[in-house]
Amino acid sequence: MLLKDIARFSLQHRTLYCYLILSIWIFLLIAGMYKYIGSIEASNSVLSSKTFLFKKQQLLLEEQDRIRAKKINDEDCNHPPQIGLGEEGGTLEGWSLQGVLLLIRHGDRGPMTHVRGIDSVDCGFEGDSVLTRYNHYLTNSSSSTTAGHWMKTGPFHGFPLLPSSPRACLLGQLTQKGVAQLLRVGDVIRQAYAHALALYTRPPAHTSTSSRTTPYNATDTTNIPAMYNTDDIVIYSTRYRRTFQSAMALMFSLVPPEKWQYLQIQESHSLSFCFADCACPQADNLKKQLDKDGKQVLGAHPAIGAIVQWMGATILQNQPTVGQSNPLEVRDAILSHICHDAPLPCRKISLNPQEPRLTSSSTQDPQDVINIDQDDITFNQPPPNTEEPDDVDPTGDQEPDIEGCVEKSHVAALMSYTQWAGLKEWKSLKMRQQGLLRAYGFLRNIVGYMLKMISGDKVKFVLYSGHDKTMEYLMAALALSSETPFIPYASRLAFEVYKSDKDTQFYFRLLYNGQDVTNTIALCEGGKSLSVPRGIRGDRANLCPIENIIRFLHDDYFLPLNATNFKDACLAQRDGYF
């Protein structure tokens, strides 16, 4: 009986059980769906966060590359608008300026090696009123120039005063931008020194013409009245067009045109301006050691070496067939694009291993004697390339070409490495020793003119128009520290010579690109220089006794070389060390 009642009750509530089970199933289903949806949202949130961080990191890297590229552009290229008056000159209370000796590096030039696609780079410079006036003067003047050439007798007779092409980046030749740079430098020097050195003073009316100047054709001067005295200016230049043109552009902004056209330019037969102290086997030995050390350092960084090799194959036309590409050659080539706002180069690299390649022609090292202009060096140049271009396949069997482009990351890696390796070399003892040997004759010449200036000689301004190596050797000899191992285009190193108004004490001041660096060189640091008021703004200037540099040259110069004179220091040792 009981079993029948239970069975009947179960049958009556079957519908209720179904609804109950269905409700539980729906609840579990909804709960599972919410959990699944929540996990998806969490995953999307994590992915969105990672994407945001990645994009932020990419933007940060791009900003760093942009800042680094701008720094390279500003520091290495030295654009004309950046050149301005620094700490040169000024009024030093109680001191009189006796003279100035100025060493410059030439202005912007074309690359030193053959570069692929350099014809597409515009090396012109427009919109500069001073450059326009200079070009107009040379075009229309007929006194000492003919069709823009220097026609005075001497080692630079017939040299062009302007680049042969207004826009092309010719091999090792000055560009219009380089001319504009030196015109700006000349204006800086004029503002700082022209009045104090009386460079605009006309000679007395009774002074004979022949004693004032030498005319451009070295003939009788009785019918050519000279307006200014040129005996107060001495100019030296290496026999390169870029250094000669740089010197003349600077002087055009410094002195009046009537005086400029009668200037005398003397030739330096050495890149280091060594004058009578040039031959030095140990200096050559040290250079070989530095080159060897540089190759070893690069070999220890294979990733950088691979980047340099790839960039060299992309940029350099005469890539060496064996060995590692020179990072400095690649750097110089890429600056031709960077300094003229040209896009980074690309090329199609052939996959055909049988393709002939030219050997490098950049092995010549004009370290000592420069007798001819670079444009006239034809016997050392490679034969014209008559091969088919890389992207031409006359047989139809060549594999497809791969197009490769230099990227900003490649440039950043190259510049960072050369900066680091250059500073490492700059601080080495071998570099100091090489600088002492290379710059000895130059420093003797500088000190000699200092002594002439303090003894009342007519010479008030001496200009040396040289190269980056010229300045590098002199700075190394003086142990002048630098934040960068590279000398920008149109750099300047000035020696200012002063006399005390109270007594017969003579001092000098050293400035690099407008910055007073007197107390940073060894012979003037550590309380050896004076700090005197400069100008009316409360600035200070450092003055170093001239006797310090004389004593350094005669007594202490060869101490780092374990020698007492130039001859003994230049004797090459078998083991390559002193």
64 & 193 share domain: no
Domain that holds residue 55: 27-77
Say if 163 falls within a structural domain.
Answer: yes
One domain, residues 37 and 183: no
CATH code at 240? 3.40.50.1240
How far apart (Å, rounded) are the C-alpha atoms in residues 272 and 278?
8
Domain check: are 124 and 50 in the same one? Answer: no
The answer to the question of residue 490 being in a domain is yes
How far is residue 490's CA from residue 107's CA, in Å, rounded to a whole number? 5
CA distance 566 to 578: 13
Helix (H) or strand (E) holding 423: helix 408-426
Say if 542 falls within a structural domain: yes
Do residues 121 and 255 both lie within one domain?
A: yes
Q: What is the pLDDT of residue 538?
A: 74
Which of 48, 77, 106 lies at the terminal end of a domain, its last residue? 77
Q: Tell me if 208 is assigned to some domain.
A: no
Return the H-helix or E-strand segment holding 452. Answer: helix 429-454
CA dihedral in degrees (469, 473, 478, 483; nearest 10)?
A: 40
- Looking at the fold, whether 107 and 239 belong to one and the same domain comes out as yes
User: Which of the listed residues 77, 97, 118 is the one where a domain comes to its end?
Assistant: 77
Domain assignment present for 59: yes
| pTM score | 0.80
Give the residue from 56, 77, 98 where a domain finishes: 77
154 and 270 assigned to the same domain: yes
Q: Is residue 283 part of a domain?
A: no
Q: What is the spatial distance between Cα 330 and Cα 345, in angstroms, rounded to a whole number?
A: 12
pLDDT per residue rounded down to tens, the chain (578 residues): 555 655 565 556 667 777 778 778 787 878 777 776 766 666 666 556 656 565 656 666 555 655 665 666 778 899 999 999 999 987 888 899 999 999 999 999 999 999 998 999 999 999 899 999 999 999 887 666 777 899 999 999 999 999 999 999 999 999 999 999 999 999 999 999 999 999 988 766 554 444 444 443 433 334 444 568 889 999 999 999 999 999 999 999 999 999 999 999 999 999 999 999 999 999 999 999 999 999 999 999 999 999 999 999 999 988 776 778 999 999 999 999 999 999 998 876 554 444 444 333 333 344 333 333 444 333 344 444 444 433 334 444 444 454 678 999 999 999 999 999 999 999 999 999 999 999 999 999 999 999 999 998 999 999 999 999 999 999 999 999 888 899 999 999 999 999 999 888 999 999 999 999 999 998 998 788 899 988 776 788 999 999 999 999 999 999 999 999 999 999 866 444 44
Tell how strand 402-405 and strand 265-268 pair up. Answer: unpaired
Q: What is the pLDDT of residue 45?
A: 63
H or E element in which residue 289 lies: helix 281-299
DSSP letter, residue 387: S
The reply to whether 287 falls in a domain is no
Within this chain, do residues 477 and 449 fall inside the same structural domain, yes or no?
Answer: yes
For residues 149 and 193, membership in a common domain is answered with yes
Shared domain check, 452 and 506? yes
How many residues can be counted in the chain? 578
Asked if residues 514 and 88 have their Cβ atoms less than 8 Å apart, the reply is: yes
Residues 63 and 152 in one domain: no
**Residue 174 sits in the same domain as residue 249:** yes
Q: How many domains does the chain have?
A: 2
42 and 122 both lie in a single domain: no
Residue 536 lies in a domain: yes
